[in-house]
Amino acid sequence: MSLLTGKTVVVSGVGAGLGHQVAAAVVRDGGNAVLGARTEANLAKSAAEIDPDGAHTAYRPTDITDEGQCEELAALARERFGGIDGVVHVAAWDSHFGGLQDADFATWLSVIDVNLLGSLRMTRACLPALKEGGGSVVFIGTQSSVAAPSQVRQAAYAASKGALTSAMYSLARELGPHRIRVNTVLPGWMWGPPVQAFVQFTAHTEGAAEEDVLKRLTERMALPELATDGDVANAAVFLASDLARAITGQSLLVNAGELMR
């Protein structure tokens, strides 16, 4: 059974990693994927790989800090495919590191503008279409919002994603009467381009083998390997599908069992 046959899903933050995997999973499972990100070249490359004939994808450069651009992406989905059945929010600023003592709160505000308010802008832009037949909103959060990692400090990122998860509960209540479900996927260490780069950088910095750095991460898991960005994408597609029709206001950890709640 194709989970998303005939459904249209807007995916923000489509690049080389998780956003691409989510869009690919939408098309793989029978849906139409409408791709948004700031860089048009990334969108074109992703769409060509996922859907060579272009029958099931559309894309538009989109900065989720710009309300007008969010509305334009939502309009593209309606114009091209007739409506919107789901939104998966991958777009995020996850590259700002540090804790409280060295915090630059001006940068924190920018991180919050992307990760919290940007996701809410994009959701609101899609609401008129989602209200027509119900649907699903899936936020990509982070395990760091519920358990601080020991390897890196990302206080601004964790706080912004924690706020987004808190907003999820209110949205689930507000939008539920319209049969719109709102859930969050919380990835932990997720094997894909960002973690690959972290492993390579750490190995180079420490003069260690990449295999040893990866082993330090993997041995924290209940399962003997990291989750992948494809695993997280599959969880998002499940929550976007009718198989999750009675699930709303929930957070799902996809982390190979590193943290259990």
Active site residues: 157
* Residue type, position 232, single letter: V
In contact, 171 and 182? CB cutoff 8 Å? yes
Strands of 123-250, DSSP E: 135-140, 180-187, 190-191, 227-228
Rg (CA), the chain: 18
Q: How far apart are CA 62 and CA 44, in angstroms?
A: 13
Q: How far apart are CA 246 and CA 261, in angstroms?
A: 21
**φ/ψ of residue 250, rounded to 5:** -120, 150
Name which of 191, 97, 192 is nearest 144 in CA terms. Answer: 97
3-state helix, strand, coil in the chain (%, to 5): 50, 15, 35
